Amino acid sequence: ELPANGVEVTLPRLVLGAAREFQFGEKFSLLAEVDLENTFDGQRNTLVASSTWSMDPRVGIEVGFSEIVYVRAGVGNIQYVTDIQDEKQLTMQPNIGLGLRIKSVMLDYALTDIGDNSVALYSNIFSLRFDIFKRS
């Protein structure tokens, strides 16, 4: 059923993250990241869940070449789902992506849920960003 108005309430969430970048020579870099998305609106189908708090972990890596080309991979949407035999199964959503930076323009592409491992459908996501501040 569609809502009667266009108002959507988004409940607060707390995302805690940590990342570390490693340099390999002058041209290659590796960025590793872990995010913990916390919600406080009741139990969800997340990896860690209680009646008031749920936590959805995500991990990802990015390999960069000359700060121009980036290849990314990650896993998110880790949750327990109930199958048709009424048994809980752990599912996760692997994602891959590519990035290209030319001066202050960045073009990103992501393919989500590769292999159809989660209950979500796959998506092709394109992003175009402009850096308005000069990089030092």
SS3 for 3? coil
**Which residue's structure tokens are 């590769």?**
114
Pairing of strands 48-49, 69-82: unpaired
d(CA 105, CA 125): 17
pLDDT score, position 113? 78
Instruction: Please report whether residue 8 resides in a domain.
Output: no
Please report, in tens digits, the pLDDT of each residue of the chain (136 residues total).
666 777 777 778 999 999 999 999 999 999 999 999 999 887 787 888 888 888 999 999 999 999 999 999 999 988 888 888 888 888 888 999 999 999 899 999 999 878 776 666 778 999 999 988 866 5
Q: Is 132 helix (H, G, I), strand (E, B) or coil?
A: coil
Q: Give every CB contact of residue 115 below 8 A, 6+ residues apart in sequence.
A: 94
- Please give the pLDDT value at position 59: 97
In a domain, 40, yes or no: yes
Which tokens go with 8?
Answer: 């959507």
Query: What is the structure's pLDDT at 135?
Result: 63
The pLDDT value given to residue 2: 64
Residue 110 lies in a domain: yes
Is residue 5 in some structural domain?
A: no
Predicted local distance difference test score (pLDDT) of residue 119: 61
Looking at the structure of the chain, the number of domains it has is 1
Length of the chain measured in residues: 136
Residue 105 covered by a domain: yes
Helices (H) and strands (E) in the chain, counts: 0, 8
Does 7 map to a domain?
A: no
Specify if 114 maps to a domain. Answer: yes
| 4 domain-assigned | no
Q: 113 lies in which domain range? A: 13-130
CA distance linking residue 5 with residue 91, whole number of Å: 34
